[in-house]
Amino acid sequence: MDPNNPFPTSAFHRQDETPDAEFYHHPRFVTHLDDAAIAAVTQLYRDYFSPNTQLLDLMSSWVSHLPPEIAYRRVVGLGMNAAELRANPRLSAHVVQDLNAQPTLPFQDQEFDGAAICVSVDYLTQPVAVLRELARVLQPGAPLVITFSNRCFPSKAVAAWHALDDRGHLALVRQYLLAAGGWQAIELLDRSPAPGRSDPLFAVVGRAAGPAKTAV
């Protein structure tokens, strides 16, 4: 077992193992949360992302849920569908990349001041590698906001996600960050707007620790 990745391979099996490019070939101009849960995501971004900074929206689509009243210097989206990404009015640039085939991010060290993964972490088959990369491309101290609810495309979510409930999902994402390394000040949040009346909304927030110091 890779000491840097304590999860068994079976944790990342999926019902649909066909290439993700096929599943995401056609654009889906839909939202994956109800309005109240989206508002909770937007409020988290207000709380954690500073105005006029450079942000990365990983696993992005045609919407980024960023606060409409706040301007950011640059927002880069990475996702699977070019038409969705082109239609996203918040993006300054976008990249189409299958993170399950290529988890290395095409960005410089410390290029971003914040990053988000909204309702998508459950589709990652190499989450530890992706989160290690995210720690690399963020400025030291920069926040990563990972949000999720209780819905998904079942055939594309990994087995570990299906095996757990909401609390388990929070614990799992925290374990992903710990296994990746390079994260500190990890918070597990329940920002569900109206339990029983809207989609629940959970978040795991971590801050990039910056490059490890090497002994001299």
| 45 part of the interface to ligand SAM, by CB under 6 A | no
Asked whether the beta carbons of 205 and 48 are under 8 A apart, the reply is yes
Encoded tokens for 100: 């399950």
Q: Which region among 2-10, 48-56, 94-102, 192-200 touches ligand SAM (by CB under 6 A)?
A: 94-102
| 201 part of the interface to ligand SAM, by CB under 6 A | no
Q: Which region among 1-9, 45-53, 60-68, 200-208 touches ligand SAM (by CB under 6 A)?
A: 60-68
CB atoms within 10 A of CB 110: 15
DSSP letters, 77-142, are EEES-HHHHHT-TT-SEEEE--TTT--S-SS-TT-BSEEEEES-GGG-SSHHHHHHHHHHHBPTT-
Q: Tell me which amino acid residue 117 is.
A: I
Give dist(CA 83, CA 97) in Å, integer.
13
- Residue 60 or 192: the one with the smaller Cβ distance to ligand SAM is 60
Give dist(CA 161, CA 168) in Å, integer.
8
CB atoms within 10 A of CB 70: 14
| 176 part of the interface to ligand SAM, by CB under 6 A | no
| 80 part of the interface to ligand SAM, by CB under 6 A | yes
- Give the nearest distance from C-beta 161 to ligand SAM in angstroms: 13
Residue of 88, 100, 126, 149 interacting with ligand SAM (CB under 6 A): 100
- Give the nearest distance from C-beta 193 to ligand SAM in angstroms: 16
Residue of 37, 40, 56, 59 interacting with ligand SAM (CB under 6 A): 59
Q: Which region among 2-10, 67-75, 117-125, 159-167 touches ligand SAM (by CB under 6 A)?
A: 117-125
| 192 part of the interface to ligand SAM, by CB under 6 A | no
Of 189, 165, 183, 161, residue with least CA distance to 10 = 161
Binding site for ligand SAM (CB under 6 A): 20, 24, 32, 59-61, 63, 65, 79-81, 98-100, 118-120, 123
